[in-house]
Amino acid sequence: MNREKILAILYEMSMVIGGEIRLEPLLTKTLQRFLFHTSFPCGMIFLETSEQRFPEYRRERADVRLAMAVGDFELTREKGSLVSIPACVIRGGPELIEDPALINELPCRKDHYRALLRLPIDDCGVMVLLSPELPSSDIPFTRVFQPVLANLAKAVLLCQSNEAYTESIISDRKRAEEGIRQLASIVQSSDDAIISKDLDGTIRSWNKGAEAIYGYTAAEALGQHVSLLLPPEIPDDTMAILERIRAGGHVDHYETLRLRKDGRRIYVSLTVSPINSDDGSIIGASAIARDITGRLKSEQELQRASAYNRSLIEASLDPLVTIGPDGKITDVNEATETATGRSRTELIGTDFSDYFTVPENALAGYQQVFREGSVRDYPLEIRHKNGGVMPVLYNASLYRDEEGSVIGVFAAARDITEKKTAEQELKRASAYNRSLIEASLDPLVTIGPDGKITDVNAATETATGRGRAELIGTDFSDYFTVPENALAGYQQVFREGSVRDYPLEIRHKNGGVIPVLYNASLYRDEEGSVIGVFAAARDITARKKLEEQLRHSQKMEAIGRLAGGIAHDFNNILTAIIGYGSILLRKMDEADHLRQNVELVLESANRAAALTQGLLAFSRKQVMTLRRIDLNTTITGLERFLRRIIGEDVELAVSCASRPLMIMADSGQIEQVLMNLATNARDAMSRGGRLAIATEPADMDDAFRKAHGYGKPGLYAMITVADTGAGMTADVSERIFEPFFTTKETGKGTGLGMSIVYGIVKQHGGYINVYSEPGIGTTFRIYLPRIAAAEETTEAAKPEPLPKGGTELILVAEDDDVVRRLTQSVLEEFGYRVVAAGDGEAALAAFEEYREAIDLCILDVIMPKKRGREVCQEIVRRKPGVKILFTSGYALSALSEEGILDSEYACVMKPASPAALLKKVRDTLDGRHAAKR
């Protein structure tokens, strides 16, 4: 394209730019011309503003305002808004780029454009044109439009300035118009008649006030002569007024009579001023008229009323007095003479305060009237000449003359002698009631019909943690955990007159919660009208705690019973497995390749037996050997073993009480408790820590019981086991003693360790509690009943001899076939002879048959037809002195119920290993069963 053509096009574009004075058309038309000439289908313009400058660096993204967009729908939707674009699009010089990826970061149609033509508009902004392909034109687009773009920059600035200036002019004009409109509105809305007239008296304007005062509408009045308003009976003053105005004068507050349209006469106060033209000449008059008919009437009525008032004042039984600004009495009525014992002449001109018991108070009230305009019920005591005193309440106010100037104080006193006496009585009664309320330990509160607290006692302050002043006036329901429930109770009181034992929870300021039961009823005033609700709360924290404790105990008891039942059935099964397994093993050749399998069966069965023992321990059905032991000795003796359990990473600190702590306990089980706790502590301190075990004497009393919700008063030995491990949440602590509850991963624990601890402690008549904080650690406290330290010391356990056989005849009575056959096999294996029976009656029959030969009867405690105990009694009756050995898979309670626990007979608990059974049999036959088990 030749130079001439380019210049012509530039000229055309410059003319487009130069012809616009508003920014948006300028940008639109300019962009359209660029698109027309370049054949780019789409374009946009970004402008810098005083508030927003383009960023300096090209790599940043920039939030810039899209001033104009044409040709791309997505882009046109963003017009006028801030868009985030790569800063390199708007920075730098003119450039034609083929970069689809960059263009895709613009808020335009995606994956459509390939070419971007950037044309900076000097310092003002940038124009960006987009196209799906590079233009084929030979025109250097990046250079050719520079002059036009420079013009565009200037035009943009001019348009921006012009628009700002136009905006300011429009704003100024709007303000001015608003001012005129307001003025016109003021004139229109004025109650005064505001009219204007020519100098010849022709009415030219007439406001609504004039319509109201004179009764003529604007249409009726305009163009009429002002004498229209003149009553015929008075001289025409209108022309005289106009003459005065013409001479440059004013008329102020001229009171005269005027005529309304309806013929009524009205008094008006007229103010007339000249209206000047722009050159200062007077061209008319404005008149403001105020209707004073009412005021004049009032003044007349006032005069009439004055005389009447004086008679009323004199008739008043209340002492009335007027006092001048100097504090001297200016007038009194007869009642004042009576109250003071002084005559009117004696009082007038004297200082008013002289007639009160405390003149300073009287003077203060008088000054208050001057400060505030009046006082109400101001208490004073009038001093009678004879020394008597009359309590009064004064109402006083300033009184003024017609101009409004203060000319003194008018004061009226009301004799309140009787009221005062009644009040004192009430106060005494009230103080008494208050002391009763305050003495109450229960939170008491009164609530108004609007639900706001009207009064509280000290117990309420304690319960909520908030002061009386803070509570009164606030919504009562705000202080409960569930305000809706509180509100429902309050509404119930209104419906039914009262509520009883309504459960709520008071929310303490410190976040604490107090469970309470509310009794509430309506209370009424003397006339019987309801004036609110009186509510008394009873703190049931302790009761709740006890209920919770009971619930927990019952739960544990139930679980224990279940566990004990399961253990019994398992014992029978395990007895068979262990027994036959042992026989099988013994008969197998040492080289037998199946021997290992049998050993594994026995190992598993023994582990299962240990589990059932754990369940029995938890269910407190385990047979205990109670001895007097020193708890300190037991713990000290266990210390080395505990160190091995917890490992090297955990520090063990054992601290025992200085004095022996004697308890009746099975020392083995106490050791079991400590080992289980130590194992748990070790698992909680996988990264090391500290395990502290301490003993000390502890006394439980009612205070302890109240605080903890459990405990039988007495002397206890307390063991504290505290670790610095991971700790537990409240949910976990709550369930920690339940059997099979474990937080360890599957396979890492049986879930019985803590249940065993619990069972053992309970079986020892003790208590255990746990306190744990996640991330801090866990502390267990065990309380075991203490006995006197002076009593005998613990016996040392003797090593047990190896099982030995025999040749005696033994009756085995067992209802479980498998167990019976096993027992028979074991005994026969060791040389004994056996007679077997499957129930109680069969046992007696067998005994009868071999009575003389039988040396020992092994009787299952629970059997069909006849129980072990009955069979035993019958056998002993038939053959006194015969040896009896009871067996039981049932829990300890079963032995106790059957009377076996306290009998002289030995007992072996199932599942008993063959060795244990043989030893027990041998001991019984040899008469070595000093202990019952």
Partner 1 sequence: MTTSFQYYESAGSSKAREQLAAWRSEHPEMGLLALVTEADREQEIPAIQEACARLSLPVIGSVFPSVIFQSRFLRRGVNLFRFDAMPFHLLRSSADASGESWPESLGKDIACRVGESRGGALFLIFDQMVPNIATILDGLYLSLADRVRYLGVNAGSETFRPIPCLFDSTRIAQGGAIALLLDNHPGAVVEHCYQAPERLVSATATEGNRIITIDWRPAFEVYRETVRSEYGVVIDGSNFYQYAVHFPFGIVRAGNEIIVRIPVALQPDGSLFCVGEIPPNSVLTLLRAPEVDSVRTVDALVQGLKNLCGDPAGADILAFYCAGRKIHLGDRADWELAQLGNRSGAANVAGALSLGEIGHSLQWGYPLFHNGALVCCRWG
CA atoms of 158 and 148, how far apart (whole Å): 15
Interacting span for partner 1 (CB under 8 A) from 131-139, 348-356, 564-572, 755-763: 131-139
Calpha distance 532→794 (Å, rounded) = 70
Closest to partner 1 by CB, 110 vs 586, is: 110
Please, which residue, 132 or 379, has the CB nearer to partner 1?
132
The correct pick among 20, 40, 410, 579 for binding partner 1 (CB under 8 A) is: 40
Using CB under 8 A as the binding rule, whether residue 39 contacts partner 1 is answered as yes
Q: How far apart are CA 534 and CA 718, in angstroms?
A: 47
- Of the candidate residues 25, 58, 61, 73, the single one contacting partner 1 (CB under 8 A): 73
DSSP state letter for 340: H
Q: Tell whether residue 32 is a contact of partner 1 (CB under 8 A).
A: yes
Q: Is 96 in the site for partner 1 (CB under 8 A)?
A: no
- Using the 8-state DSSP alphabet, how is residue 853 labeled? T
Considering only CA atoms, which of 678, 680, 690 is closest in space to residue 650? Answer: 690
Q: Any contact of residue 2 with partner 1 (CB under 8 A)?
A: yes
Tell me whether residue 104 or residue 343 sits nearer to partner 1 (CB atom): 104
DSSP assigned state of 465 = T
Name the nearest CA neighbour of 740 among 562, 931, 547, 516.
562
Question: Looking at this protein, which amino acid is placed at residue 128?
Answer: V
Which of the ranges 136-144, 323-331, 723-731, 833-841 carries the binding residues for partner 1, by CB under 8 A? 136-144
For partner 1, the closer CB: 5 or 434 = 5
Please report whether residue 109 would count as binding partner 1 according to CB under 8 A: yes
Q: Is 118 in the site for partner 1 (CB under 8 A)?
A: no
Query: Given CA atoms 150, 152, 157, 162 in this order, what sign does their dihedral have?
Result: positive
CB hemisphere CA count around 51 (13 angstroms): 4
| Position 106 contacts partner 1 (CB under 8 A) | no
| CA separation for the pair 33, 152 (Å, rounded) | 12
Q: How many CB atoms lie within 10 A of CB 926?
A: 11
CB of 47 to partner 1, least distance (A): 18
Measured in Å, how far apart are the chain's first and last C-alpha atoms?
122
Pick between residue 132 and residue 512 the one whose CB is nearest to partner 1. 132
Distance CA 716, CA 706 (A): 17
Does 4 sit near partner 1 (CB under 8 A)? yes
Is 22 near partner 1 (CB under 8 A)?
Answer: no
**Beta carbon nearer to partner 1, 146 or 205:** 146
CA distance linking residue 826 with residue 804, whole number of Å: 12
Cα separation, 45 vs 64, whole angstroms: 10
181 binds partner 1 (CB under 8 A): no
Sole residue written with tokens 């030979």: 138
Site residue total, partner 1 (CB under 8 A)? 40
Task: Choose the binding region for partner 1 from 138-146, 487-495, 538-546, 592-600 (rule: CB under 8 A).
Answer: 138-146
Q: Looking at beta carbons only, is 29 or 508 nearer to partner 1?
A: 29
Note whether 30 binds partner 1 by CB under 8 A.
no
Taking contact as CB under 8 A, which single stretch among the options 126-134, 448-456, 592-600, 878-886 is the one that binds partner 1?
126-134
CB of 11 to partner 1, least distance (A): 6
Q: Is 1 in the site for partner 1 (CB under 8 A)?
A: yes
Q: Are 761 and 784 in contact (CB under 8 A)?
A: yes
144 touching partner 1, by CB under 8 A: yes
For position 35 contacting partner 1 by CB under 8 A, the verdict is yes
Least Å distance, CB 23 to partner 1, is 16
Contact status, residue 869 vs residue 899, Cβ threshold 8 Å? yes
Among candidate residues 230, 188, 911, 221, the one with its CA nearest the CA of residue 602: 911
The correct pick among 20, 23, 37, 814 for binding partner 1 (CB under 8 A) is 37
**Smallest distance from partner 1 to CB 208, Å:** 36
Q: Is 19 in the site for partner 1 (CB under 8 A)?
A: yes
* Nearest distance in Å: CB 107, partner 1: 13
Residues in contact with 121: Cβ distance below 8 Å, sequence separation at least 6, in sequence order: 45, 47, 127, 149, 152, 153, 156
The whole-angstrom separation of Cα 100 and Cα 133 is: 10
Among 21, 22, 25, 36, binds partner 1 (CB under 8 A): 36
Residue 53: how many CB atoms within 10 A of its CB?
A: 11
Which of 16/194 has CB closer to partner 1? 16
131 sits near partner 1 (criterion: CB under 8 A): yes
If you search the block for the tokens 């040492």, which residue do you land on? Answer: 590
Please state, as a whole number, how many other Cβ atoms lie within 10 Å of the Cβ of residue 288. Answer: 20
Residue 678, token pair as written in the block: 């130590």
Q: Any idea which residue has 């001023």 for tokens?
A: 273
Which of the stretches 11-19, 99-107, 627-635, 820-828 binds partner 1 when contact is defined by CB under 8 A? 11-19
Nearest approach in angstroms of CB 5 to partner 1 is: 6
Residue 100 interacting with partner 1 (CB under 8 A): no
Distance, CA of 381 to CA of 414 (rounded, Å): 11
414, 376 contact by CB (below 8 A): no
Q: Quick check: 72 binds partner 1 (CB under 8 A)?
A: yes
Residues forming the site for partner 1 (CB under 8 A): 1-2, 4-6, 8-9, 11-12, 15-16, 19, 28, 32-33, 35-42, 70-73, 75-76, 109, 131-133, 135-139, 141, 144
